[in-house]
Amino acid sequence: MILIDGKSTSLQIQEEIKARVELRAGDGHKKPHLAAIIVGDNPASRAYVGHKIKACERVGFESTLVELSESVQEEQLLMEVEALNNDESIDGFIVQLPLPDHIDDQKVLEAVRPDKDVDGFHPVNAGNLSLGLPGFQPATPSGIIELLKRYEIETSGKHAVVIGRSAIVGTPMTLLLSRNANPGNCTVTLCHSRTQNLEEITRTADILIAAIGRPHFVTKSMIKPGAVIIDVGINRIPDPSRKSGSRLTGDVDFEGASEVAGSITPVPGGVGPMTIAMLLRNTLEATERPV
């Protein structure tokens, strides 16, 4: 069984990005500059944004954090987005999700200028992805593609099963896996909450991607021996043995799955760190080659 180490792969990619930033600096280019808007005090969101800002420092990017209170009005948030759109010193920015219930996420994401939308969530970038045109790709599925590539996992002609149809993970994942590229050329089945006979389908997967948000949902019996298992889930579960009283775990029962899988990503240390690396890569691309 091969452990697909997203943490070390992410650090390796960050080293490559850092080297490119230094090379560009030598040619007189400014540092790439990523901004993030965060609304409210959701601890998970704060932690994710903190990791992104730290990663910027590591690779020599500039970063700006715009912090808004939970009670911010949608109009104010849209004004902040517009300010970043118009700030020429900012190459790309993200709006950390989820937003409070009184704010329309989609309206905010659509306000981001597509050539600064390094999360790849704007309909223009989503459309480009579905048409196979250049544009920013969402960081989590493109991080998974990068892992498959760097671990030299054969994808052509394989059956990939994606569980979860979200706009930021499951749906773009199916597009990336099915396109005529390497990695790619998979036959893809997209499963979701209304899928019948899920286990029958997952047992035919050469590559199984779980993006559900339910701890240990994928068990050993759902896995074809030798399959590649990619666990996107990040779930906090109680763990009295930890000082904090809880720990993070994936959508896959790692221990059981490891007994049958050919290769598997851990949680933490799998897909999560790759998401950050791909966000940095998108930001560098925004600096070098605007969409």
227 vs 278, beta carbon nearer ligand NAD: 278
Listed residue (90, 86, 68, 87) closest to 77, CA to CA: 68
The minimum distance between CB 222 and ligand NAD, in angstroms, equals 11
Looking only at residues 197 through 216 of this chain, which bind ligand NAD when binding is defined by CB under 6 A? 198, 211-213
139 vs 286, beta carbon nearer ligand NAD: 139
The minimum distance between CB 168 and ligand NAD, in angstroms, equals 5
Instruction: Establish if 165 lies at the interface with ligand NAD (CB under 6 A).
Output: yes
Give catalytic status of residue 52 as yes or no: yes
32 vs 233, beta carbon nearer ligand NAD: 233
Computed on alpha carbons and rounded to an integer, the radius of gyration of the chain in Å comes to: 19
Looking only at residues 125 through 154 of this chain, which bind ligand NAD when binding is defined by CB under 6 A? 140
89 vs 221, beta carbon nearer ligand NAD: 221
Instruction: Establish if 271 lies at the interface with ligand NAD (CB under 6 A).
Output: yes
Instruction: Establish if 258 lies at the interface with ligand NAD (CB under 6 A).
Output: no
Give catalytic status of residue 107 as yes or no: no
Listed residue (176, 128, 183) closest to 154, CA to CA: 183
Instruction: Establish if 10 lies at the interface with ligand NAD (CB under 6 A).
Output: no
Q: Which of 5, 119, 206, 253 is catalytic?
A: 119
Specify whether the CB–CB gap between 125 and 117 falls below 8 A: yes
Give catalytic status of residue 91 as yes or no: no
Determine the Cα–Cα distance for residues 148 and 250; give it in Å rounded to an integer: 19
Sign of the torsion angle spanned by Cα atoms 137, 172, 109, 7 = negative
52 vs 113, beta carbon nearer ligand NAD: 52
Each residue 218-257 as x (binds ligand NAD by CB under 6 A) or -, in order, gives --------------xxxx----------------------
* Contact pick of 120, 164, 172, 266 for ligand NAD (by CB under 6 A): 164
The footprint of ligand NAD (CB under 6 A) covers 140, 163-166, 168-170, 191-193, 195, 198, 211-213, 232-235, 271-272, 275
Catalytic residues: 52, 96, 119
